[in-house]
């Protein structure tokens, strides 16, 4: 199917915001402004949920200078949502599109947003309405399949690598005060974010010393033995743990702090780091504390990867180009190139292969115990975080 008539474009942002999601919006708008086949350029306020309430803004009426400013602005300028389409919603949305002569839709989001885009593309086909729908990838979780990586991940990975280094410096200043530190990360059921905390690690005894990933069930006895062994060897232990780590029976460590579920029935967990700290204090009699970056890891403007920002812009621009090429019901993917140096091109994948599917960390990116990353992960992730991380020097502490 290829577009027959000029039409209006609508763009939405969905799910957890990132430090570079607005770069995808800017890439899309700046590309659309150059295209004569796109007449109106509209924005959904708060994603598909706002669209259902007809909260629509005219992006052509924005000041021309705002787009380059938004390129460097974190979070979602249009507002986002976590809303699962109800049975009657697609039909209502198609009616809204007809009323506003919208024939192009770009939805910037992750797994659940891909499901929304897929269902709307199907609904348009069933209604015999000419609608071209493209999903633009975005998630710090880095768990979308068929793309080398996801915009948003590189910046969050950079933040966590830096945060782990900086927090460790505090521990090193007085290791006897709180010798055990736990840093809790987001990432849902995939360990990509947790693993990124190791990107500043140069030597075996550098932090982090243990990674607790969702891909490996948590066993208390093993964990305590590992913590005690590291503590006896170097005098302090830095642990980075995913908020969704679970026991072999499937119980989340953070379930004690669970605050319900989101619209897609994903548990809203809180408390894994606190559980680990209490466990260490009770069983090993060691002082312990935790850091929990929370939303900062998703949208810290201070830690944006320039590579990530560029690629977020690229997928937004490519989304508009794909729409005008007559593509629909697909997601933009990033394809890694290594010659003459690292860069990415884009491709497309059918949304039915992406919607509600998670990509976990490959086995080759983790050591045999699944407690630390391998060189293969460094090769994969380091190009995504932009400028090389600073290596902190240490004084020679030979005493006179």
**278 phi and psi, to 5 degrees?**
-65, -35
Beta strands, E only, the chain: 7-13, 38-44, 56-58, 102-109, 132-137, 180-185, 210-212, 237-242, 288-291, 330-337, 343-350
Which member of 89, 112, 115, 141 is catalytic? 141
Alpha-carbon distance values, 65 to 10, 17, 30, 68, 228 (Å): 20, 22, 11, 6, 56
Catalytic site includes residue 141 = yes
Q: In what order do the strands lie in the sheet with 210-212?
A: 210-212, 237-242, 180-185, 288-291
Contact between 361 and 192 (Cβ < 8 Å): yes
Per the DSSP assignment, residues forming a β-bridge with 173 are: none
Contact indicator for 253, 246 with CB cutoff of 8 Å? yes
- Distance CA(367)–CA(216), nearest Å, equals 12
Q: Specify whether the CB–CB gap between 386 and 307 falls below 8 A.
A: yes
Residue 297: which H helix or E strand, with range? helix 296-299
Residue from 327, 51, 57, 18 nearest 150 by CA: 18
Q: Where in the sequence numbering do the catalytic residues fall? A: 141
């Amino acid at each position: 199917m290829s577009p027959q008539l000029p039409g209006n474009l609508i763009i939405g942002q969905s799910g957890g915001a990132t430090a570079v999601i607005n770069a995808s919006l800017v890439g899309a708008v700046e590309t659309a402004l150059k295209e004569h086949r796109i007449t109106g350029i509209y924005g959904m306020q708060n994603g598909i949920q706002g669209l259902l309430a007809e909260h629509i803004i005219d992006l052509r009426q924005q000041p021309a200078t705002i787009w380059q400013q938004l390129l460097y602005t974190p979070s979602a300028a249009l507002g986002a949502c976590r809303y699962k389409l109800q049975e009657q919603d697609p039909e209502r949305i198609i009616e809204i599109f007809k009323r506003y002569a919208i024939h192009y839709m770009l939805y910037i989001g992750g797994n659940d947003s891909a499901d929304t885009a897929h269902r709307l593309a199907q609904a348009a086909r069933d209604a015999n309405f000419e609608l071209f729908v493209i999903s633009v990838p975005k998630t710090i979780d880095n768990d979308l399949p068929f793309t080398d990586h996801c915009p948003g991940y590189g910046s969050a990975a950079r933040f966590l690598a830096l945060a782990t280094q900086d927090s460790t410096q505090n521990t090193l200043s007085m290791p006897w005060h709180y010798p055990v530190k736990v840093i809790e990360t987001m990432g849902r059921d995939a360990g990509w974010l947790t693993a990124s905390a190791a990107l500043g690690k140069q030597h075996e005894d550098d932090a982090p010393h243990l990674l607790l990933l969702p891909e490996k069930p948590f066993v208390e006895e093993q964990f305590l033995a590992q913590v005690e062994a590291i503590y006896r060897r170097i005098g302090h232990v830095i642990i980075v743990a995913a908020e969704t780590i679970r026991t072999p029976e499937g119980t989340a460590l953070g379930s004690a702090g669970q605050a319900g579920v989101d619209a897609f029935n994903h548990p809203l967990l809180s408390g894994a780091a606190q559980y680990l700290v209490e466990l260490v204090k009770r069983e090993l009699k060691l002082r312990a504390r935790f850091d929990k970056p929370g939303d900062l890891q998703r949208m810290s403007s201070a830690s944006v990867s320039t590579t990530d920002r560029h690629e977020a812009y690229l997928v937004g621009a490519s989304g508009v180009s794909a729409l005008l090429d007559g593509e629909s019901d697909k997601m933009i993917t990033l394809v890694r190139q290594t010659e003459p140096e690292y860069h990415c091109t884009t491709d497309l994948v059918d949304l039915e292969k992406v919607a509600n599917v998670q990509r976990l960390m490959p086995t080759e990116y983790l050591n045999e115990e699944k407690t630390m990353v391998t060189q293969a992960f460094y090769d994969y992730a380091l190009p995504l975080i932009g400028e090389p991380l600073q290596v902190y020097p240490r004084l020679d502490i030979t005493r006179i």
